[in-house]
Homo-oligomer: A and B are copies of this chain.
């Protein structure tokens, strides 16, 4: 199985590399996982505006990656921005989002989950994610951590302490029995794993969940439904010959 993890923006190369190594550690023995970044886009994604900014260049990258024979592309942003579009323009390569992978994993492990998200500004898209997944009735709460994505790693122990407190309140006050850490940067800081030990409930790491969901779905022989995600008609009916022609300047 050959997977590729796609970071939807110009993350610095050292960090890309570091994440690539972690992904390889997580992957099952029979699975090869590469990592690529998109050369242009937002520095981090903390708003709907930045979500949308990331999509056109990421779409082109994913379109090209399909030709390289990957079985699945894993989107490197926990809000799954553009997922439907990426699925429209691929026909053999599965595209998986960490957001959907996380909320489905959570729903397979307990009755009600809480989402811890980066900031107030990502609450609406977290609601949107849950609504799109169809799992609204499983949601206990969505709570902001309110630490800027780019500062999460700077003071890891402070970050962890703050997140733990919020997670505990999700459990005790909101009735969650499972936690989703909706942030890819947290995913590569081993935070979910520590929290899970401390709290005694499953804490979903979206980066790992997305990788493992890709293994799950590819390993079962599935591709996203071409009946659900139709090719853009101009492409399907031959009015244009390439993805590029769909964009007119």
Residues in chain A within 8 A of chain B (CB atoms): 9-10, 28-30, 39-43, 46-53, 55-56, 59, 82, 84-85, 88-89, 96, 100-101, 104-105, 107-112, 119-121, 124-125, 127-128, 131-138, 148, 171, 177-178, 193, 196, 200-202, 204-205, 208-209, 212-213, 215-217, 219-234, 236-237, 246-249
Contact = CB atoms under 8 A, between A and B. Distances in A.
A12 B205 CA distance: 42
A234 B29 contact: no
Contacts of A233: 46-47, 119, 121, 148
A193 to B, nearest CB: 7
A170 to B, nearest CB: 11
Contacts of A101: 108
Contacts of A48: 84-85, 88, 229
**Number of this chain's copies in the complex:** 6
B230 A47 contact: yes
Given A84-B124, A119-B233, A246-B53, A217 B134 contact: no
A32 B61 CA distance: 37
Given A202-B225, A223-B202, A228-B124, A133 B109 contact: no
- Report which residue of A48, A128, A133 has the largest number of chain B beta carbons within 10 angstroms of its beta carbon: A48
B222 A105 contact: yes
A193 B221 contact: yes
A219 B28 contact: yes
A229 B137 CA distance: 18
Given A29-B29, A148-B233, A177 B227 contact: yes
A191 to B, nearest CB: 13
Contacts of A237: 148
B124 A111 contact: yes
A39 B249 CA distance: 6
Contacts of A49: 59, 85, 88-89, 232, 246
B9 A248 contact: yes
19 contacts: A29-B30, A39-B249, A42-B246, A43-B248, A48-B88, A52-B85, A53-B56, A104-B104, A108-B217, A109-B228, A110-B227, A134-B136, A135-B135, A148-B233, A193-B221, A200-B226, A201-B227, A209-B220, A215-B215
